[in-house]
Amino acid sequence: MYLAWAADGAVAGWMAGAVLRGAVFRLSVPAGAPDAVCPRCAAPLRPWAASRCGHCGHTLGLPAALELATAAVLALLFGRLGGHPVTLAFGFLGAVGVALAAIDIRVQRLPDRLTLPAYPVLIALLAAAALTGHDIGALVRALLGGLALAAGYLLLGVARPGHLGGGDIKLAGLVGLVLGWLGWPAVLSGAVLGFLLAAVASLMLLAARRITMRSAISFGPFLLGGALLVILAGGPSGSHLP
């Protein structure tokens, strides 16, 4: 662990969480429903970077919750990666991932308006890291990893409709990009770990009678959590991390 970098990550994560809190609140609505409005004055909310209603100043969402979660994830990621050129790219997906997980837990969807714009940004950050670190091979592997994981989830979604949604498939592509950078074993273990975590959580919820056999649980948080564990574990041998 690079402690100074972990502290930097916590600060960056807190700020990213503050920027994303309004978007998480606004997009936490069922698919097809209009964006959430201010719960106090019903004014429409600004698209980005607003944690308060621009009209009446009402605080949107639970104060500090998203900030704390994002700070924790980015502290872990920055602490693990240190000054490696790829830290910014991984940190970006970490922050977007926390926001997506928060929405998925609340309304069981991963909105396109967060996943799709994340693609060009993440690919640009990975490309910058590849140029800085003179590691074009890692960039090619990342692109193939994103393609492979998205294709794998697409096949699973077609094979078992109702379990994986389009949002899960688009998120899988993003996760595959960062895991692909680390190497093919990381892509595979990340994918397996996501399903394993989801299965364990489902069994625990079933045992606690919180869900039934017919319920679908949000998959996004487990996919992201599995990827985070793979990154923190340093990736399997041969991965391109310090």
Span interacting with Zn ion, options 30-38, 98-106, 116-124, 168-176, rule CB under 5 A: 30-38
Q: Please count the other Cβ atoms lying within 10 Å of the Cβ belonging to residue 207.
A: 9
Contact status: 53 vs Zn ion (CB under 5 A) = yes
DSSP 52: B
Q: How far is the CB of 55 from Zn ion (least distance, A)?
A: 4
Q: How far apart are CA 17 and CA 90, in angstroms?
A: 15
Return the closest-CA partner of residue 12 out of 65, 86, 63, 87. Answer: 87
Q: Concatenate the DSSP letters of all residues of 189-212 into one string.
A: HHHHHHHHHHHHHHHHHHHTTSS-
Q: Does position 124 bind Zn ion by CB under 5 A?
A: no
Segment lying near Zn ion (by CB under 5 A), choices 50-58, 105-113, 160-168, 218-226 = 50-58
Q: Nearer Cβ to Zn ion, position 40 or 210?
A: 40
Q: Whole-number minimum distance, CB 40 to Zn ion, in Å?
A: 5
Sequence-distant (≥ 6) Cβ neighbours of residue 119 within 8 angstroms: 173, 174
Inter-residue contact 49 to 22 (CB < 8 Å)? yes
Given the complex with Zn ion, which of 58 and 240 has the nearer CB atom? 58
55 lies in the site for Zn ion, by CB under 5 A: yes
CA atoms of 174 and 146, how far apart (whole Å):
6
User: Which of 127, 132, 145, 123 is closest to 84 using CA atoms?
Assistant: 132
Minimum separation from the CB atom of position 51 to Zn ion (A): 12
Answer for which of 4, 41, 116, 131 binds Zn ion (CB under 5 A) is 41
- Number of residues interacting with Zn ion: please give it, by CB under 5 A: 8
**How distant, in Å, are the alpha carbons of 1, 116, 180 from that of 90?**
16, 16, 12
Please, which residue, 41 or 192, has the CB nearer to Zn ion?
A: 41
Min dist CB 25 to Zn ion, Å, is 12
State the nearest-atom distance from the C-beta of 24 to Zn ion, in Å. 17
Q: How far is the CB of 68 from Zn ion (least distance, A)?
A: 24
Report if residue 197 touches Zn ion, rule: CB under 5 A.
no
Query: Which positions lie near Zn ion, rule CB under 5 A?
Result: 38, 40-41, 43, 53, 55-56, 58
